[in-house]
C-alpha cells in the first residue's frame, strides 16, 4: 500500500507546483518514487506506474501548457518511467547506501541523456549538428542537477527512514531490556 501512496505523491509533485503558479525546474519526487515503487511491487505493476505518470503528462501538456498532446512524443519518457521501476526492482530489493546512490545516479543520468537526445534529434529547437547537440545538453544541465538532487532526496528519505526507524526501535528495545532487573 505504501508503494502506491508514494507513487501518487510522486505524481502530485509534478502537478502541485503548477497549481500554485510556480515554475517547475524538474524538482519532483518522480525519480525516487518510481525507484521505490519498483523495489516494492511486482514487475508487472510497472504498467500501473507508467499509466499514472502518463496521465500527468497528458494533463500537463494539454491543460497546464495548452499544447496539443501527441503520444509519440512521450514514448521515450514512458519507457524511462518503466525503466526506473525495473531499476528499483533490480538494485533496491536489498537496500544499501551504495545501491540507492547507484540507482539515483543511473535513473537521473539515464533520463538526462535519453530525453535530451530525443529533444535534439527529433525537434527543431537545436540544429542537428555538433554545436546544436552540445547546446541542447548544456541548456538542460540545471534540470539535470535538480533532478539528481530531488531524486536523491526522495530516495534517501524513502529508503533511509525505514532503516533509521528500525535502528531507533532496536536501540529502545535494547535500553528497555538493560533496565529490567535480573531475577
CATH number at residue 159: 1.10.1760
Please tell me the pTM assigned to this model.
0.88
The answer to whether the CB of 49 falls within 8 A of the CB of 7 is yes
Alpha-carbon distances, residue 7 vs 25, 51, 95, 183 (angstroms): 20, 11, 19, 50
Instruction: Give per-residue pLDDT as tens, 107-155.
Output: 999 999 999 999 999 989 999 999 999 999 999 999 999 999 999 999 9
Number of domains in the chain: 1
- 57, with CB counted inside 10 A (0-12, 13-18, 19+), is middle
Q: Which domain holds residue 19?
A: 2-179
Instruction: Give per-residue pLDDT as tens, 33-60.
Output: 999 999 999 999 999 999 999 999 999 9
> Among positive and negative, which fits the CA dihedral 168, 173, 174, 175?
positive
Amino acid at each position: 500500500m505504501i508503494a502506491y501512496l508514494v507513487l501518487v505523491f510522486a505524481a502530485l509533485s509534478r502537478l502541485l507546483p503548477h497549481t500554485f503558479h510556480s515554475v517547475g525546474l524538474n524538482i519532483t519526487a518522480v525519480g525516487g518514487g518510481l525507484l521505490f515503487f519498483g523495489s516494492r511491487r511486482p514487475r508487472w505493476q510497472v504498467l500501473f506506474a507508467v499509466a499514472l505518470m502518463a496521465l500527468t503528462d497528458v494533463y500537463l501538456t494539454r491543460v497546464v501548457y495548452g499544447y496539443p498532446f501527441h503520444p509519440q512524443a512521450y514514448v521515450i519518457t514512458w519507457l524511462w518511467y518503466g525503466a526506473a521501476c525495473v531499476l528499483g526492482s533490480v538494485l533496491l530489493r536489498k537496500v544499501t547506501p551504495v545501491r540507492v546512490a547507484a540507482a539515483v545516479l543511473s535513473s537521473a543520468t539515464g533520463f538526462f541523456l535519453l530525453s535530451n537526445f530525443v529533444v535534439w534529434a527529433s525537434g527543431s529547437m537545436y540544429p542537428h549538428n555538433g554545436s546544436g547537440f552540445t547546446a541542447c545538453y548544456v541548456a538542460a544541465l540545471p534540470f539535470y542537477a535538480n533532478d539528481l538532487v530531488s531524486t536523491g532526496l526522495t530516495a534517501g528519505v524513502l529508503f533511509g527512514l525505514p532503516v533509521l526507524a528500525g535502528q531507533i526501535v532496536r536501540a529502545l528495545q535494547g535500553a528497555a531490556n538493560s533496565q529490567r532487573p535480573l531475577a
